[in-house]
Amino acid sequence: MSQQSGRFKAGGKNDQVVRADEGFFGPGSIAWKVWTFPTSALQGFFRAVTIEHLDPDLVAAVD
Binning pLDDT at 50, 70 and 90, where does residue 7 land? low
Measured CA distances, 52 to 32, 44, 61 (Å): 26, 12, 10
DSSP 3-60: PPSSSB-TTS-B-PPP-----TTSTTSHHHHHHTSHHHHHHHHHHHHHHHHH-HHHHH
pLDDT, tens digit, 9 for 90 and up, residues 15-54 = 677 777 777 888 888 888 888 888 888 888 999 899 888 8
The residue ranges of every structural domain in the chain are: 30-62
